[in-house]
């Protein structure tokens, strides 16, 4: 049973994105927009640059490991405790769904922020947290968020779950 669930998760991930089984068709395909703009254009717009230069997954990526291009060093850095935990400010909680798997790095697209900034997400269920880029999206603060594959794995959340995560900025 566990193997069947794992296989379904891998197939679901393989079907996502431009290089997936659906080749950019269907209800989950979206045209490029400001929220998926490259880091250089974000920096030019006066937004915070991402913490790492994420490596794009290979064109033929099909497995979770192939899509998660973060290095062991990047994962250790993202899992590290905040430098100034007393300086952190809670932004609230949000339900996080798996975001675009072909978009590498550690990020959370959320309506809890109005500008791109660094922050941290905590999965209370596992006790794990990840340092991420917080990227604003339109919607009320009560709306859900989208989280990167690398961050979801670091939080030890199932890729098919909708975990409620705590979001922090500062620190």
Task: Return the domain boundaries, the chain.
Answer: 41-169
Grade residue 58 by pLDDT with cuts at 50, 70 and 90: confident
Q: Which of 44-58, 75-89, 142-156 has the highest mean pLDDT?
A: 142-156
Q: Does the pLDDT at position 80 exceed 80?
A: yes
**What pLDDT, on a 0 to 100 scale, did the predictor assign at position 73?**
86
Contacts 24+ apart (CB under 8 A), 122-129: 122/155, 122/165, 122/166, 122/168, 123/155, 123/156, 123/157, 123/163, 123/165, 124/164, 124/165, 124/166, 125/157, 125/163, 126/155, 126/156, 126/157, 128/79, 128/154, 128/155, 128/156, 129/79, 129/155
Q: Which residue has the tokens 């500008």?
A: 115
Question: DSSP E strands: which ranges in the chain?
Answer: 89-98, 107-110, 117-123, 128-136, 145-147, 164-169
Q: Which of 36-50, 52-66, 111-125 has the highest mean pLDDT?
A: 111-125
Q: Does the pLDDT at position 39 exceed 90?
A: no
Would you say domain 41-169 falls under CATH 2.40.40.10? yes
**What pLDDT, on a 0 to 100 scale, did the predictor assign at position 42?**
38
pLDDT in tens, 17-29: 444 443 333 333 3
Share of the chain above pLDDT 90, in %: 46
Mean pLDDT of the chain, nearest integer = 75
Mean pLDDT, rounded, for 70-97: 85
Strand partners, 83: none
**What pLDDT, on a 0 to 100 scale, did the predictor assign at position 171?**
65
Short-list 62, 66, 168, 57, CA closest to 117: 168
Mean pLDDT, rounded, for 34-55: 43
Grade residue 9 by pLDDT with cuts at 50, 70 and 90: very low
**What pLDDT, on a 0 to 100 scale, did the predictor assign at position 135?**
97
């Amino acid at each position: 049973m566990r193997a069947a669930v794992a296989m379904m998760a891998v197939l679901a991930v393989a079907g996502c994105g431009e290089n997936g089984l659906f080749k950019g068709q269907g209800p989950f395909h979206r045209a490029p927009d400001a929220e998926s703009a490259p880091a250089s254009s974000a920096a030019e717009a006066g937004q915070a640059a991402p913490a790492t230069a994420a490596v794009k997954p290979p064109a033929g990526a099909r497995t979770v490991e192939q899509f998660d291009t973060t290095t062991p060093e990047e994962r250790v850095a993202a899992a590290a405790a905040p430098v100034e935990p007393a300086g952190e400010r809670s932004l609230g909680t949000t339900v996080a769904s798996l975001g675009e798997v072909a978009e590498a790095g550690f990020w959370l697209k959320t309506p809890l922020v109005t500008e791109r900034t660094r922050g941290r997400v905590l999965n209370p269920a596992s006790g794990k947290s990840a340092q991420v880029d917080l990227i604003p999206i339109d919607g009320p603060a009560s709306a859900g968020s989208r989280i990167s594959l690398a961050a979801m794995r670091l939080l030890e959340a199932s890729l098919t779950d909708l975990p409620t995560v705590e979001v922090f900025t500062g620190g």
